[in-house]
Amino acid sequence: MNISEVVNHEPRRKVMVIDSKSFYASVESVDRGLNPVQSLLVVMSQQENTNGGLVLAASPRAKKELGVKNVMRQRDVPSDPRLIIVNPRMNRYIAMNKKVNDIFRKFIAEEDLHLYSIDESILDFTET
């Protein structure tokens, strides 16, 4: 039996994987009345007794225009007066994650919602 025959006999499911784009940076942008795709914003951890923390999340524009990368050290983040640097607020991200997943729950049963991470969910529409 070749791989095609094996795959053809496997059960089929209809799933959607949703990954919220730059989730922490998007939440921070929206909370500030900014467009999450257009803002230049970085969520930066703070470390005492060091020269700064790490980038936890960067907006798409900060990544594209300034070359900011997740887990980049603060000292390596380009200096730009337009760049907004904010502290992380995990409780806020958890609350927003709950709101996002509550929207999904309006369309699928609880057992068909699989939470993968704080910004990723898998929705199984097979039985819907």
Catalytic residues: 120
State how far the Cα of 51 lies from the Cα of 73, in Å rounded to an integer: 9
Provide DSSP, the chain: --HHHHHHHSPP--EEEEE-TTHHHHHHHHHTT--TTT--EEEE---TTTT--BEEEE-HHHHHHH---TT-BGGGSPP-TT-EEE---HHHHHHHHHHHHHHHHTTS-GGGEEEEETTEEEEE-TT-
State how far the Cα of 80 lies from the Cα of 83, in Å rounded to an integer: 5
